[in-house]
Every structure is written in structure tokens, then in C-alpha cells.
Chain A
Amino acid sequence: MMTPGIAPGRLSADAYARNFNDLYPDFDPHEAMVAADRCYFCHDAPCITACPTEIDIPLFIRQIQAGQPEAAAKTIFDQNILGGMCARVCPTETLCEGACVREAAEGQPVEIGRLQRYATDRLMAQGGHPYARAEPSGKRVAVVGAGPAGLACAHGLARRGHDVVIFEAREKPGGLNEYGIAAYKTPHDFAQSEVDWIMEIGGISLRQGMALGRDITLEGLRAEFDAVFLGMGLGGVNALGVSGDDRDGVRDAVDFIAELRQTDDLSALPVGRHVVVIGGGMTAVDAAVQSKLLGAEHVTMVYRRGRERMSASDHELDHAATAGVKIITDAMPVAVHGNGALREVEFAYTRQGANGLEASDERFRLPADQLFRAIGQTLEATPEGLALEGGKIAVDGAGKTSVPMVWAGGDCTGGGEDLTVTAVAQGRDAAADIHARLMG
């Protein structure tokens, strides 16, 4: 329905259901056997190297071939306790599948992500938890943030016998898995089921509505616990810095995505008829594609540099284009026009100037009744005393910060590529380092 402005209920009920269903449904056993058979069991396999959590991919695929997806899942979880989510949200085309020799050979990699999901879904569906806790250590560790980094760290610590308290600012645990990823990548409330499953290890208690700097302080945590892990992500959002940025209809993409993930009724969620998304990353793609899936007529993503500089992968950009999103590159917003509410966004094409990227005189306007900002997030409320690097918490290889007995990982640190899987690797490695330090 071509209702102007920002309106809910643009689609029929089954269109919503169809649009937000599993993008890549689970393999059935025969499909999994055929897909697994394509793996060459490479020596020193490039896919393992390409995985930030270094899952032994050829081994788990061979275990699927041999008819034991549950054993395959154990191989995955040994390296990555959030292997179920990573199977759904990893940009595999730039990681394991991008490195697959069959991608090089024939442009058709082994479908590692889907095979990983096949294995992990089966083990998780069995019920029970595949790991047991070590003898209690008597040590207590505080984890700030129940996102991928915090959960991986907490599980690693609980497994080793430590008691963990997770402090989560939001209402629900899961972090970006719960609030920040496109709904069609992780439907059926998978993020919450996964958190519940991880917590089954025992020894982890979760305290929601506890934000660092508001409800708790780093000093307080350090006093109460033997060690602290910070994995609170990035709470702040970059502003556009142009006139009209505060008009009605201008929003942060992360809020839109979170609202969409939390709603029980997609048809009640309003979306513009003409939507413009500013940015070139995964958040921009997720906001743009989901606007389209909610029934927006025209959705345009605008990025200030060339396509090759976009942090969203080619696969994601192709998916956006297939969904009907128009992608404009080398243009930056210069003004947001409207009379109270947003009506148009004015852009200037960009060029390389003496001082970097600058606006040229060539301009164009896009009609818009909704504008999403997706130009990056920032660390907010950094506790004093923590050294920063590039605006994020500075850590060494094992996640140690500049403050004694405080570790950090995930998006709030500078190390990774802001992916779920890198956050898991950092949380996992920090847990190992914290354990070594506590028991050393």
C-alpha cells in the first residue's frame, strides 16, 4: 500500500511472515550429506585460518559425512560456544567460505556456514549441555555485557570452575545478536535460546538493567570481584553533522533494527514510503533491506566512498540489491530538508581533495520520509583510567586492558572487525588468560 509518510501495515500478514522467515533454511540430512561430501579435507585448511575462532572445519564436516552431526557440533563448540549464531550471521563469504579452495576453483565454496548450523542445531535440539564445570575455584569474575564477547568469556570462565556474574544494561541478554542483527538471519528467537543454552553450564548469573557508569562502576566491580571482563559493545551512535539532522523521521539505524527485533507484530511497525539509509556497513544493509521487507516502496543506501570501501561484503550488498535496495556510492548528505518532518535529503557527490574526502558542487536530492543513520558507533561512558586506542579500549593480544585484572573484548575494543565471531574469539581468549592469571 502506497501510504505516504511513515506508516505501519504496508503488507499483508503472509508477506510479513514470508519476508522475515529464515533466509537460509536448515539443511535436511540428505542435503547436508551432499554438501559435506564436497569438502576436500584440505591439509592445513585455509578455512580454519580464515575463521577468527579457528574451528577445525574439515574435521567437523568429516564428522557430518560420517553421520555424527552431534560430534561435529562438539568440534565447533570447543572453539566457539556461539557456533550456532555464527553459523547464521557470519559473513562466511569473507571468512571460511571465502578461503575455501572450491571457491577459488569453481566459485562455489563448500557451504560451511549452513553445515555448521546443521551440526549445532542438532546438538542444541538434543537438550542438555555438552560441557561440565571444573571443580569450583572459589574465584568470582564480573563480566560487563551479555553480548557475544561477554557470553563467550563467561562460559569459558564458568567451565573452568569460576563463578561469573554478567551485568547487562538492556532488558535481555544477547547483545547485538538479540538487538542488532537482521531478523531474517536469526528468526524463531534463536538468540535467546542460545543464551539459555550457554547458561546451562551453570555458575553464571545474569543481572539485567545494569549499565556500566550508571548502575555499576569499574572501581566497584574491581573491589567486589577477582577479575573483570568488559564486553559492553558500542553504546553511542555517530551523528550526521548536517543541518536538519534532528527532523522527525531521522533515526539511528541501530534503534530501528532493535525495535524490529523486539516487536511481536511486524505489521504494527511503521516504515517510510521513501527510505534513505546513510552508511556502507552491515548495519546500513540490515536497516535498508528490512525497510524494504517491511514494505517501503523506495529504499536507497548512500555511502560517501566507493563500493570497494564499504564494510558490508559483496554478498550482503548483492542481497540488498536483490531485495530491491538502490545503492548510491560516492555521495554524502549535506542537508536534511522538510517542514518539521523530513521530506528530502540533499547529497553532494564526493571527491578526493587536498585534505581527504570533500563534497563537490554536484548535488542531488532524494525524496525521503524516513532517514536512517548508520555511519558507525562509538564507545560511550568509558570508565576513567582505561587507556584507549582509536576511541576504543586498548587491549593486548589476550584482552588485557591498562587496568590490572581488567580484560576487555568485542566491539568496545579495537582488535577485531566488529563481527560476532571476533567478539567470541576475544571473549574466549580473555577467559583463558583470566583463568591462567587467577590460578597462576
Chain B
Amino acid sequence: MADLRSDFLGIKSPNPFWLASAPPTDKEYNVVRAFKAGWGGVVWKTLGAEGPPIVNVNGPRYGAVWGADRRLLGLNNIELITDRPLEVNLREIKQVKRDWPDRAMVVSLMVPCDEESWKAILARVEETEADGVELNFGCPHGMSERGMGSAVGQVPEYIEMVTRWVKQHSRMPCIVKLTPNITDIRKPAEAAKRGGADAVSLINTISSITSVDLDNFSPEPSIDGKGAHGGYCGPAVKPIALNMVAEIARDPATAGLPISGIGGVTTWRDAAEFLALGAGNVQVCTAAMTYGFGIIKELTAGLSLYLDQKGMTLSELSGRAVPNVTDWQYLNLNYVTKARIDQDLCIKCGRCYAACEDTSHQAISMSPDRVFDVIDEECVACNLCVNVCPVENCITMERLPAGAVDLRTGQEVRDDHGDWTMHPNNPMARAAE
């Protein structure tokens, strides 16, 4: 069994799986259940400033997108930060941390954008002996209308300012949680780093409307015939999250800044992908909300088995794929592949043909008896046939060896690297010099 013990910013946990700040971490009862199930840590659901508690809607808080068998593919929520009194949360945090000293206890915070509010809350959190704080600059719904959450996360200067206050008024490690509802995720990450953040966590939820009721024309989830955008999460958002994590991991301005990866982690494999793209640990919410805390057993066993099979440690996995994330202009144009159809695996559905013939390059032929073949003269290796084929590994992309002729271009395949920066069609090409 691979050693899954995790050290993130000096915060130790028995595994790198934390529950993200969200409904599952709103109170002691849930968090204790999570720890009993084996979760490595939690980010306690976001606390607000002292005063009258937050009020939530009394109608549905969640909307969803499902597959045919009701598999939950994406979830959106309009729940606000904790609606329980601050002192209750703080008391429970302190108690849980005392009872479960080996688990990570990070407290998420969202208070108004002034130094005094942050100073006040930080002092209260420190008393709980929690391991760190996470600044919620991410929630896109409700609180953002009041100048908090993503309203802060969308303005790098605010991020930097608040982060600086937090580092000034607290000794605790500080994680800045980023919103994906921006154009370039590197800017808020850089701002957090400038402000002194110890880490960033991402992504928070994506502004979304999951569906519209076509009878009463209300967005879902519908509250008395009206709907507001919510925050989208779950398996559907993972590709967006992976890219944003990778962008921060490979940006020289933020390289080395620890990242807590969040966004649709459902199985160990998703977690391993976040880790490979530079995350130091992962946070999970929707999968737990869908299946319960028991999934931690699959997550830990799966990651452990994978690491054993690879003969790799957790820290060796973290960031392993980052050097392979590059810009389009550096992709090797001399890497030439062609689609190949395994006729023994082909079930003759013709989806590759329809996709290629209707929407791509007319590079697949169809015989009267439904034999599908690739026309090398036309195949640009786009991979669409592979993606639409219902049989795994029936269609594969095979590389042409150096020296072979690409029948589409008539050119011999070269064995050296050649990318856009060197291409003759590029007026800015540098290689020819």
C-alpha cells in the first residue's frame, strides 16, 4: 500500500482527500461522519462575519443535469455560506479538531471587504486551533451581489489586498479559493501570490442555469416561478478545472505555488489527474453529496493501488504532467498519425462514417456491406472518429514512422521536431534564421 499521508502547507492529513467547503462540512455531525469514514480533512463551510446569521431560500437549492439512468453529471446550487451562528460553528470546529487531531481542519471565510472584518474573524478562528484558513473568493451566487465571494475573486487587486490583510493578522496558512468565472485564471492566482497566499484552491463553482422549465418558463432550480444563476459543479466541470489548475502550475509567475485541486473529482483517477497537473491535494464535494462519504474508500484504495503499480510516491505524482502542458505553437507538426479501424472490433454502427462524412474530412469509406475504412489521402487525424466510436480501442490513431509518406500531403514524415514557430507559413517563424 502506497503511503498516502499528505503534507499541504505543513497541514498534515492521512490522505490527500479533503472535503471541500460546502454543505457536507457545515457542522460537526457531518464532519465527524466524514472523518469516521476516512476523509483526510475538511474545509469547514464558509463562515461569515459576526451578526445575524445568513438566510437561505426555503425552496430548492440545487439543480441538476443527469444522464439517462439518472447518473448525476452536474449539480448547481444557490445555497449561501453557513446559515448557523458563528459561535456555534467555531465551537464545533474547535471540538472536532481536538477530537480528530490527525485530520486537516481548514476554515473557509467570507466577510465584507474591509480590514477590520477580516481581522476580527481571523482572531476568532485562531482560537479554534484550526490548521488554516481558505478565503472564499469564489461563490458566484448570492454573496457576490453583496460584494463578497466571486465579486472579490474577479478583481485581482481585491484578492491581493484581502490576502495581505489575512497574512498580516494571522499566523495560519492561507489558501485563496479562486473563481473560474473570469477570463484568465492566472491573474487572480498571481494576485493571491503577491498578497502572500500560501496556496490557491480551485475551482469554485461556475455560474450556471441547469435548465428551464418549458411549461412555466422558470429557470431551475425554481423558487416560486423565478430562478437565479447558481454555481455549477460535479463531473461536468472537471475539464475546466483541470485546465485552470494546469495554467497556474505552469505559469512562471505562479509556478511552485501550492494548489488544492477542486472540480468534479469523483474517482481516484480524477484525483490522480489533478495531482499530475500540479495539485498538491484535492477537495471533493459533489461526489460525496451524490454517493455519501463511503466513496473515500475507493478514492484512497484506488490512488494507493495506482501509485503502487507505478512505483511512485504521492509527491512524485504531483506535478508530473505539468512539463507536458504547453502552448499550441510548440506542438510537433511532424507528428503524423492516421486513424486505424480494427475490423474485428468494429460493430458496423457507422458513427465514424457519419461524423467524418457529414462534419469532417470525408476520410472514411463505407462499403455496401458496411465495412468502414480510413482513406489516408483525406485523414487529418482529427480523432473525431475515435471519440464517437462506441467501442473502445476499435479506432486508434497510429503514428506514421519517419520516412513514410503522408498520403494526404504527399510529404515524407520527418523524424525531427517541427512546430509553428519554425513553420514557413508563419511570418514570425524563427527557425529559418
Contacts and interface: CB of A to CB of B under 8 A. Distances in A.
B350 interface: yes
Interface in B45-87: 67-70
A34 B71 CA distance: 11
Contacts of B366: 43-44
A42 to B, nearest CB: 4
Nearest to A105: B347
B349 interface: yes
Contacts of A43: 349-351, 353-354, 366
Contact of B348 (A33, A34, A46, A65): A46
Contacts of B347: 101-102, 104-105
B292 interface: no
B370 A46 contact: yes
B68 A37 contact: yes
Nearest to A58: B349
Q: Which of B68, B366, B390 has the most CB of A within 10 A?
A: B68
A42 B350 CA distance: 6
B348 A30 contact: no
Contacts of B70: 30
A100 to B, nearest CB: 9
A204 interface: no
Contacts of A24: none
Nearest to A103: B347
A431 B354 CA distance: 34
A65 to B, nearest CB: 7
Interface size band for B: 10 to 19
Contacts of B353: 43
B349 A40 contact: yes
Contacts of B68: 33-34, 36-37, 65
B386 to A, nearest CB: 15
A354 B349 CA distance: 46
Given A101-B347, A104-B347, A104-B348, A40 B67 contact: no
A33 B68 CA distance: 6
Interface string B351-363: 1011000000000
Contact of B69 (A33, A40, A45, A102): A33
Given A46-B370, A105-B391, A37 B351 contact: no
A41 B69 contact: no
Contacts of B351: 40-43
Q: Which of A42, A43, A44, A105 has the most CB of B within 10 A?
A: A43
Nearest to B391: A105
B363 to A, nearest CB: 15
A20 to B, nearest CB: 32
B390 A40 contact: yes
Nearest to A33: B68
Interface in B355-400: 366, 370, 390-391
A46 B351 CA distance: 12
A34 B349 CA distance: 19
A104 B346 CA distance: 10
Given A40-B390, A43-B354, A46-B370, A101 B69 contact: no
Contacts of A101: 347-349
Contact of A44 (B67, B69, B350, B391): B350
A36 B347 CA distance: 18
B390 A37 contact: no
Interface in A43-83: 43-46, 65
Interface in B80-130: none
Nearest to B354: A43
B291 to A, nearest CB: 19
B350 A34 contact: no
Interface in B329-359: 347-351, 353-354
A41 B358 CA distance: 14
Contacts of B390: 40, 105
A33 B366 CA distance: 31
A40 B347 CA distance: 11
A165 to B, nearest CB: 44
Nearest to A42: B349
A426 B214 CA distance: 41
B67 A37 contact: yes
Interface in A303-362: none
Contacts of B354: 43
Interface string A12-46: 00000000000000000010011011001111111
Q: Which of A44, A45, A101, A104 has the most CB of B within 10 A?
A: A101
Interface string A88-120: 000000000000011011000000000000000
A34 B370 contact: no
Contacts of A44: 350, 366, 370
Contacts of A34: 68-69
Nearest to B214: A67
Contacts of B349: 40, 42-43, 101
Nearest to B352: A43
Nearest to B66: A33
Contacts of A104: 347-348
A46 B348 CA distance: 9
Nearest to A32: B68
A315 to B, nearest CB: 21
A33 B69 CA distance: 7
Nearest to B69: A34
A238 B370 CA distance: 42
A43 B390 CA distance: 13
A45 B68 CA distance: 22
Given A33-B69, A42-B351, 12 more contacts: A34-B68, A36-B68, A41-B351, A42-B348, A42-B350, A43-B353, A43-B354, A43-B366, A44-B350, A46-B348, A101-B348, A102-B347
Q: 9 closest pairs, A vs B, by CB? A: A43-B350, A37-B68, A43-B354, A105-B347, A42-B349, A101-B347, A101-B349, A40-B349, A33-B68
30 contacts: A30-B70, A33-B68, A33-B69, A34-B68, A34-B69, A36-B68, A37-B67, A37-B69, A40-B349, A40-B351, A40-B390, A42-B348, A43-B349, A43-B350, A43-B351, A43-B354, A43-B366, A44-B350, A44-B366, A44-B370, A45-B350, A46-B348, A65-B68, A101-B348, A101-B349, A102-B347, A104-B347, A104-B348, A105-B347, A105-B391
